Chains A and B, each alone.
Chain A
Amino acid sequence: MPKLTLKDLDKIREKTQRTMNLREGAGRAKITVHMGTCGIAAGARKIMDTLLNVVEEKDVKDVILTTSGCAGLCSREPMATVELVGETPVKYVDLTEEKIIKIFNEHVLGGTSVQEYALVMGSERTQ
């Protein structure tokens, strides 16, 4: 293994930043994909996979992806809640892979919620 330069140290730091943010639960945005038996049956895992792919593709480091149990609205699943730090959480329903990508780009990266896919504003605040 070649000896590191100062630049190499910075690169390592950058590369592992996403992991460290995850371990600290630190990020400027959190996306909770609702699982539970109903969620999984409705295809929530694919939504999660899509998110993982797009995070990796776009090399996004400061977004937390996590899961929670059933939110109680089983008929509208797959569902995901997007929470930007300092803003009210937005619950998105009837998700598909295309929808979640759009939500990621416009809400999480862009900062504007996608009203047409949303259910209610601020019904559940996650810490």
Chain B
Amino acid sequence: MKTYRANVMICAGTACVSNHSLDIKKAFEEEIKKRDLEDEVQVVTTGCNGFCGAGPIVVIQPDGIFYQFLKPKDVPYLVEEHLLKGRPVKKLMYVPPEEEVPIPKMNDINFFSGQMLVALRNRGMIDPEKIDDYIARDGYSALVKVLTTKTPDEVIEEIKASALRGRGGGGFPAGIKWETCKRAEGEPKYVICNADEGDPGAFMDRSIIEGDPHSVLEGMAIGAYAIGVSQGYIYVRMEYPLAIERFKIALKQAREYGLLGKNILDTGFDFDVDIRRGAGAFVCGESTALMASVEGRIGEPRAKYIHTVEHGLWNRPTCLNNVETWANVPVIILQGAEWFTSIGTGDVSKSPWGGSKGTKVFSLAGKINNTGLVEVPMGITLRKLVYDVGGGIPKGRKFKAVQTGGPSGGFIPEELLDLQVDFEQLDAAGSIMGSGGMVIMDESNCMVSMALYFIEFLVGESCGKCTPCREGLRQLRYFLKKIINGEGTVEDLEEIEIISETMQKASLCGLGKSAPNPVLSTLKYFRDEYIAHIEQKKCPAGSCRALIKYEINDSCIGCLLCKKQCPENAISGESKKLHIIDQDKCTNCGVCFSVCPVDSIDIISGGDIVYHHEALEVENDKEMSV
């Protein structure tokens, strides 16, 4: 085995790859060769590092130095200075917002130090396309332990004792699901990995698959052994080509090693996995729709009075779990249920529903400094997640809400920031854990628009089978648009609430049942915004086009930029003189607002100024005239 003294760990998750990280890899290889460092420094591509907002990312081990926003042209200098001369390059390091001093080591950066890696245990440490790397970090040890020292029932007891709850959103205790499936009548049985991850902005599962596909395969194999299954399916959304590719490579390597297939490790246990691709339907993340799709039928859900653990794929007992759930299984087997339950909230001694144990992977997105993927212990407060790990709100703006759980979830306002992130507390606040999406909003986000955004998404994804969801979404969209266009009435709010209740109680599947959640949640915490839209024709966030107008204030420096960009030629004014927007021509496109270099355009809504930027200094000798 070659002895290196340094490893260049290059992030090759989808985001960094689309940002040319593979070109960076080539640049490193070329420069290292040029400098005669080939025998000392190894270049490795890993899965997603997690700090996606700072990509392309490279971490140099063993020093643990974190480099961000790299470009291929930065590489020669980096190689010379850091790898050759031992002088890490400050200007390529991470600098916290509003500060000047860089933080060289990854583990010292708040984004990373606040995390606890379980499902993402191999993050940044392995090449996902090399099974030996996975094995080196205890990969497949759990499967060996289970096959050689535990009975299937003992495995189920361990998973039950860990109180592992589904990470796809349902939060159902995995151990109970496995046990029910095992006891159900019917052969053959199946296990499925739900990798359809449809929530907009969610990429937890994608990162696990791209970065550590074997963790999922090993988990499924352990589950298959426990339940008595020899055939598994992974259903991956087709919009994840890299994930599919990495799974295929992993399957091939695992089969070659005899870790999947017939008579695994000579123990007589058979288990293999087939990949099935989705075809662009959010609803196929719902378990019965997913199974219909695998069977080749249209991806539409069915009533779940008869559970899929009893009658699932081809009517046989089927155990479906999410990617992250499967990825947790090997660790629980190796470290034990007691260790797992020492992390998280609640008391699971009587029932797994009593707490939320272990960790959860979240994607942080929206108005937050540190956008990316994090894994934190259950029970972390939202405040810590947003401000410590997330680095707070950019541009010094104020936190307004965090949306959790995707289109099925709700919005948590500022006054609830100290709630602990776990299944029950998020439910109690009117939201859900969901698959782990966290979108942060500041005062420039209009909550009514946000509700409409999710409704529009679901209008596009509803399968259309049942009346409450299909027709309810039509009406919710109609009433919300009315309100956003300044034509809403207070009665509309009542209609929205009544329709929402029927959708929640009477829809056929989870999509319809949870569709009203974003609407009801915003009505609960931000009703005043709805009332403002209705009674004052005002959008307090300054976002709804029909209700705002832009006005240039006297901080204008007369640079002509907005005038040149305006698609309607609605701005007049000469160089170094105050510009003016002709409101009759203006279509509220907002281009002027976004290009103004001194932020001197106000947003007026409902007769009030809802956005105004205080200029830091006004030069004395500037005289403005109209």
Contact = CB atoms under 8 A, between A and B. Distances in A.
Contact of B86 (A20, A36, A56): A36
Contact of B144 (A6, A12, A17, A35): A6
Given A1-B257, A6-B148, A9-B144, A19 B5 contact: no
A4 B261 CA distance: 12
B266 interface: yes
Contacts of A64: 62
Contact of B9 (A9, A23, A30, A67): A23
A22 B3 CA distance: 10
A12 B84 contact: no
B349 to A, nearest CB: 34
B456 interface: no
A68 interface: yes
A52 B40 contact: yes
A23 B86 contact: no
Contacts of A25: 61-64
Interface in A8-56: 9, 12-13, 15-25, 27, 30, 32-37, 39-40, 48-49, 51-53, 55-56
A1 B259 CA distance: 12
A72 to B, nearest CB: 13
Contact of B85 (A15, A23, A35, A53): A35
A1 B148 CA distance: 23
B613 interface: no
A36 B87 contact: yes
Nearest to B3: A56
Interface in B7-60: 7, 9, 39-40, 42, 44
Interface in B529-550: none
Given A48-B40, A52-B39, A66-B5, A22 B62 contact: yes
A20 B257 contact: no
B125 A13 contact: no
Given A23-B61, A52-B5, A65-B5, A4 B85 contact: no
Contact of B265 (A1, A4, A69): A4
A4 B147 CA distance: 15
Nearest to B83: A67
Given A3-B258, A4-B258, A40-B84, A23 B125 contact: yes
Contacts of B136: 12-13, 15-17, 19-20
A3 B257 CA distance: 5
A55 B3 contact: yes
B262 to A, nearest CB: 10
Contacts of A70: 87
A51 B40 CA distance: 11
Given A3-B257, A9-B140, A66-B62, A20 B5 contact: no
A27 B5 CA distance: 13
Contacts of B44: 23
Contact of A24 (B40, B83, B85, B125): B125
Interface in A57-96: 64-70
Nearest to B256: A1
A31 B200 CA distance: 47
Contacts, number: 117
A35 B86 contact: yes
A34 B86 contact: yes
B5 A67 contact: yes
Given A6-B265, A52-B5, A67-B5, A39 B63 contact: no
A23 B141 CA distance: 20
Contacts of A22: 4-7, 61-62
Contact of A66 (B6, B135, B148): B6
B137 interface: yes
A23 B85 CA distance: 20
Interface string B89-109: 000000000000000010000
B132 interface: yes
B1 interface: yes
Contacts of B87: 35-36, 68-70
Contacts of B492: none
Contacts of B105: 127
Most chain A beta-carbon neighbours within 10 Å: one of B44, B86, B87, B266: B86
B427 to A, nearest CB: 38
A74 B42 CA distance: 29
A12 B132 CA distance: 7
Nearest to B140: A9
Interface in B256-309: 256-259, 265-266
A38 B138 CA distance: 42
Nearest to A33: B86
A22 B63 CA distance: 9
Contacts of B83: 67
B99 to A, nearest CB: 21
A40 B125 contact: no
B133 interface: yes
B135 A16 contact: yes
A52 B259 CA distance: 34
Contacts of A5: 265-266
Contacts of B40: 48-49, 52
Interface in B130-189: 132-133, 135-138, 140-141, 144, 148
Contacts of A37: 85
Contact of B259 (A4, A24, A27, A127): A4
A33 B6 CA distance: 12
Contacts of B259: 4
B543 to A, nearest CB: 45
A66 B86 CA distance: 8
Contacts of B265: 3-6
A68 B133 CA distance: 27
A16 B133 contact: yes
Contacts of A65: 5, 62
B135 A12 contact: yes
Given A6-B148, A40-B85, A24 B132 contact: no
A17 B1 CA distance: 10
Contacts of A49: 39-40
B85 A19 contact: no
B62 A15 contact: no
B42 to A, nearest CB: 8
Interface of B: 1, 3-7, 9, 39-40, 42, 44, 61-64, 83-87, 105, 124-125, 132-133, 135-138, 140-141, 144, 148, 256-259, 265-266
Given A27-B62, A35-B85, 5 more contacts: A4-B259, A23-B62, A49-B40, A52-B5, A68-B87
6 contacts: A1-B256, A12-B135, A19-B42, A23-B61, A65-B62, A69-B86
Return the 5 tightest CB-CB contacts between A and B, nearest first. Answer: A3-B258, A67-B86, A16-B136, A35-B86, A69-B87
